[in-house]
Structure 1
Amino acid sequence: MMFGFGDSHSPNPDTVRLVESILLKQLRTLIQEALKYSDGKNLGGEELVFLMRHSKQKMRRFVTYLRNKQNKMILQQPVGSSTIQLVDTPKGPLMEFIERIDETGEFTDLTEFDEVKLERQLRADRISQALDEKRYLEFCKARCRSFTSNYTIQRSLEKLRLWVDPKKEINFKGEALDVLAYYAYQTIAEIVDYALLVRMDTKSGSNPFDHIPGSYYTATMFNGKHQFQEDNPDYSKVHSSQPQITVNEIREVMRRVHTPQAGKLNFGGPIPETHFLFAL
């Protein structure tokens, strides 16, 4: 997953273990925060989704996830079993809950530009263009990794439940584990994003153009060169000789998250609305 988000083809094992420990702590914190809106023992998907209410952009991204998930289920239906009709607004318990708390309609308004998502797609596109067929297939597989498998979804969710709650003290209801898996995926994505931003900051020096929005998604994260300083940056380094994200870079991310005044840690825009819960 880290490779799919922009790390080296062979991530540093120590970095992976550190990211895993951060992820586990984040998920358990999310669970405890969500339990404040339940009876303390039973956790539903609605309580977890409610935590995203302060970020309209992340809520919109989750709405897109729900829509794509439902459309995928529709497309997987046997031919002739029913009329296939893709939908723009999925209906289900979580979507109905979002509509109930969305007083202004901004959570379900998907017309606004999502800069972060576009820059992630740009990064993946730049990498894929430089890869041969074999490496491209490996990169695609990494991009498709998630905490739920297409063919063993229930088994994957059960593993996730045992990981975050090995003593089975919490009763996860309905789609709670699915929302938790989505949070886990987004957390890994943002940790890698921030680590690459930290790397850019260490190499940018005093050049003011190195800090423009989006620069850390392109050439900078591969070879330390800004996208406007080199005509043909070698994006293939992401697969062959791209430096691994280091433990120190992840630690610097966490230092900046907990003490934002110590250094900028944003996507070229406003400071994140949450202090340390990446998925929110």
Structure 2
Amino acid sequence: MVSYFTIDAIGEVTNFQKEISNMMHGFGDNPNPNAATVVLVENIVLQQLRLILQEALNNSNMRGGKAISNYDIIYLMRKNPMKLKRLHDYQIKLDQIDKNRSSVSGVPTSENLISNIIMEDEKDPTIKKRRTHIDVIREIDEFSEVSQFKFDVIDYLRKVRAAKITESMSFEKYEAYHKARCSSFRSSYGLGKGFVKLERWINPNKELKITLMALEILCFIAYETVAELVDAVFLTRQDAKKKNGDPYSKFEGGHFCNPVSLNNAVYIKSGYEGVPAITVAEVREVLRRYFSPRVGMNGLFYRNMCQDLPVRFIAI
């Protein structure tokens, strides 16, 4: 497996293999993920982010923007209200974390700094307040579809899986698992240093101008891409358990079941030692199912359809 790592203008190699390995473990993979699978997932995430940047750049050029902003990326997510809801809640959690951190350390957050700048320049009518992710989502969500989601089933199923994995862990193993769950594509929590590595990874030659808030959304999308791939692998494993003549065979310890029962909530044995590492073949099967053309009645007409199909994004 060849790794398509990024080399910036200085010649420094940038990759997220260690972070992705921890994320896969945190989402339910073996504590020692397959190295070839990690490289494949990294390549998928990088390709997805660069495709998103290309589409966002087109949106930015159409509206006459000077840089790719959070609006250009959220606009690509407009047809998926569930993902917009997850991004909305993600922003609320980040704001709460920053507020708690600033109250403990006394260091002002980016929101406080921005608000102070705006207050000083209030007399200038040309100064506009920067729109947050929540502001953009409310602007795009004309029919209030995002606010209608009261229950995040994706987050719930992942938490149930984590509860199943950790129910028989020792303290040392749980500590390592907790660190894996905290992994992300942010390099630090500083005001301007949090996405330096991510920007160097997706924009090594500085060809694109990307705002800090746009990088924050790309960080969220990259994290969700890894999570979606791992979730889909468990679904394919569930389908592999189906037996001819027994329509309920795949639900024996499957991913979807009675949410009251934790014993059958995920396709994972008690304790993470029983989880086989995700293989390259399983990830490729997930991609085949995701990007394959429609089947069923519509599939009869697929060969007569135009081959210029729109780009699909795993996380949005």
Distance of 1:28 and 1:80 partners within structure 2: 36
Alignment length, in residue pairs? 249
Paired residue for 2:83? 58
CA deviation digits over 1:125-156, x for unaligned, max 9?
A: 11111211111111111111111145457444
Residue type of the partner of 1:52? Answer: M
Aligned to 1:140: 178
Provide structure 2 residue ranges, at least 5 long, that are not aligned to the other structure.
1-22, 107-129, 258-262, 297-309
TM-score norm. by structure 2 comes to: 0.71
Equivalent pair of 1:45/1:173 in contact (CA under 8 Å): yes
| Alpha-carbon distance change, 24 to 79 in structure 1, aligned in 2, over 3 angstroms | closer
- Give the TM-score normalised by structure 1: 0.79
Instruction: State the 1:201 CA deviation.
Output: 1.4
Paired residue for 2:74?
49
- Cα distance in 1, alignment partners of residues 36 and 295 from structure 2: 25
AA partner of residue 13 (structure 1): A
Task: Within 5 Å, give how 1:81-120 maps onto structure 2.
Answer: 93-111=132-150, 113-120=151-158
Say if 1:12 and 1:246, in contact at 8 Å, map to a contact too: yes
Structure 2 counterpart of 1:78: 103
The answer as to whether partners of 2:40 and 2:280 remain within 8 angstroms in 1 is yes
Query: What is the distance in 2 between the residues matched to 1:29 and 1:210?
Result: 39
Selected match of 1:17 from 23, 27, 39:
39
* Alignment RMSD (CA, Å): 3.0
The amino acid of 1:31's aligned partner reads: L
Q: Distance in 2 between matches of 1:152 and 1:78?
A: 15
Post-superposition offset of 1:110: 4.6
Summarize the Cα distance change of 1:13–1:156 in structure 2 as closer, same or farther, 3 Å threshold: farther
CA 1:204–1:152: 2 relative to 1, 3 Å: farther
Change (3 A) 1:171 1:109: same
Q: Which runs of 5+ in 1 are unaligned?
A: 82-90, 219-225, 264-273
> Residue 202 of structure 1 corresponds to which residue in structure 2?
240
CA distance in 2, matches of 1:116, 1:99: 22
Matched residues, percent identical? 35
**Does 1:258 find its partner at 2:291?**
yes
Structure 1 residue ranges, 4+ long, deviating more than 3 angstroms after superposition = 149-156, 210-214, 260-263
Any conservation in 2 of the 1:60–1:109 contact (CA below 8 Å)? no
